[in-house]
Amino acid sequence: MNLFDISLKLKGFPIKETQLILTDIQNLNSEEFCNYVEKQKTQIVNYHLNHNSFYQSIFKDQKFTAWNTVPIMTKKDLQQPLINRLSQGFSLKNVYVNKTSGSSGDPFVFAKDKFCHALTWSVIQNRFGWLNLNFNTSKQARFYGIPLDKKGYYKERIKDILSRRFRFSVYDLSDTAFENYLKKFKNTSFDHINGYTSAIVQFAKFLEKKELILSQVCPTLKACIVTSEMLFENDKLLMEKQFGIPIINEYGTSELDLIAFQNKQDEWIVNSETLFVEIVDKNNRVLPYGEEGRVIITSLYNKAHPFIRYDIGDIGVLSEKSTLQKPQLQKLIGRTNDIVILPSGKKAAGLTFYYITKSIIEDDGNVKEFIIEQLNLQTFKIIYVSAKQLSDKQTAIIIKEMENYLEKGLNIIFERQPQLKRSKSGKLKQFSSLLHNI
């Protein structure tokens, strides 16, 4: 029984229809595909020019004439109430709504129309199929965070059941926790691992200390898919050795889609079916394949909310082997997260702060940017840019959340700044540890 597909259908997401459309797109020849992409680019721009006053204010010109005249959107453009950004005919009741993780330091709320969101899941299912994994039947070992509030917690647990997932917490990466994880792998026929890179790397290091190969403990494992953080080559080699299975690199953003996925030939294939990906220089000029620049992405199907020539805040390179129909990501810069180390010795993934900082991500756009620094074992500094200072009530909520997710007795400093210092690549690293030699 395809529980996941059924759950999507019951929520109004036309998954069967989008699966058929995706297959049709993939069956196009090179000339047909070129025409398809140009048609979708033109249609999505004109749709939002005709139906979205927010996009009209960004576009400024009355008419779409050429792609290189289409303005590049940034996350700052989107930091205003979602209702102001929705297209005509869409409301908060008939779209998929979510928040970005804020891993780049620029959080905001976004929307997708139901067709677009179903198409996103069709692409994900298709890519998992490359690894002979069926999204409806394959058992997943999931290394992700989970909301600790009752409603959010049970919502995710229900989704885990429907998706045949068992969730391993990334809030505790201690050897004691990993011993329990190991027991679960011994007693469960998992097909694949999926989750945050840094947490899975810590598990691989634990297995290395124990001199264990995970595929010998759990022989049903076929692959490990890492996401949300940078995968470094030495970490990949460690995981391949300790897991005994292929390590697959996934790259995506919640507001868009799955952007790139490694195939069995170790090619990092870019999603060209539902996205149009460009690399541009500092003057917004499109760069040829092989040159490094800013990653700019257009969602070809989202009619509820425009993501057209959208600067996602990453730096990357498309391989010289790329074609329009089969672009390949050669290199991605950014999205690294450190491990949090606490006074008790407990460790947690840096993306733990995604769940903590949700409490300060407000739809009114007050908090524009934020970063978190660990100054010593006990002290964390939250540096933020906002229209108005966080209230005592808001800071109290954040402190309470940090105690819930991490541990009590931490020293939390709040510092409001007019702007944040960015890295050379232009990225903001949401969490940085200033601890050394640990």
Model pLDDT, residue 267: 96
How far apart CA 257 and CA 300 sit, in angstroms, is 11
Helix or strand holding residue 165 (H, E): strand 165-169
Q: Would you say 341 and 438 are in contact if contact means Cβ atoms under 8 Å apart?
A: yes
How far apart CA 36 and CA 33 sit, in angstroms, is 5
Bridge partners, residue 349, by sequence = 339
* Residue ranges per structural domain of the chain: 3-333, 339-433
Q: Who has greater pLDDT, 98 or 261?
A: 261
> Distances from the Cα of 58 to the Cαs of 26, 78, 275, 279, in angstroms?
33, 10, 20, 21
Model pLDDT, residue 363: 65
Model pLDDT, residue 378: 93
For residue 359, name the pLDDT band (cuts at 50, 70, 90): low
Beta-carbon count within 10 A of 150 CB: 8
Q: Who has greater pLDDT, 254 or 329?
A: 329
pLDDT in tens, 387-402: 899 999 888 988 988 8
- Statement: residue 322 has pLDDT above 60: yes
Beta-carbon count within 10 A of 336 CB: 17
Nearby residues of 267 by Cβ (< 8 Å), 6 or more positions away? 328
- Statement: residue 429 has pLDDT above 80: no
Nearest by Cα to 373 from 315, 428, 312, 314? 428
Q: What's the length of the chain?
A: 438
Q: Hey, what are 225's tokens? A: 């898919």
Nearest by Cα to 48 from 68, 71, 25? 71
How far apart CA 194 and CA 394 sit, in angstroms, is 33
- Statement: residue 336 has pLDDT above 50: no
> Distances from the Cα of 428 to the Cαs of 96, 105, 281, 312, 424, in angstroms?
27, 6, 18, 12, 10
Please, what's the largest Cα pairwise distance for the chain? Answer: 65
> Distances from the Cα of 42 to the Cαs of 66, 74, 271, 301, 401, in angstroms?
9, 20, 19, 11, 45
Rg over alpha carbons for the chain, rounded to the nearest Å, is 22
Residue 183, classed as helix, strand or coil, is helix
How far apart CA 113 and CA 302 sit, in angstroms, is 6
Nearest by Cα to 124 from 133, 111, 114? 133
Residue for token pair 């079916």: 273
- Statement: residue 135 has pLDDT above 80: yes
Bridge partners, residue 224, by sequence = 193, 247
Residue 295, classed as helix, strand or coil, is strand
Share of the chain above pLDDT 70, in %: 93
Residue for token pair 């995604």: 354
Q: Hey, what are 325's tokens? A: 């129909």
Amino acid at 187: N
> Distances from the Cα of 151 to the Cαs of 10, 12, 14, 156, 162, in angstroms?
20, 21, 26, 9, 17
Just give the CATH number of 3-333: 3.40.50.12780
Share of the chain above pLDDT 90, in %: 62
The model scores a pTM over 0.85: no
Q: Would you say 333 and 346 are in contact if contact means Cβ atoms under 8 Å apart?
A: no
For residue 84, name the pLDDT band (cuts at 50, 70, 90): very high
**Could you give the strand order of the β-sheet that contains 411-416, starting from the edge strand earlier in sequence?**
411-416, 379-386, 367-374, 431-433
* Fold (CATH) for 339-433: GMP Synthetase; Chain A, domain 3 (3.30.300)
Pseudo-torsion of CA 300, 303, 309, 313, nearest 10°? Answer: -100
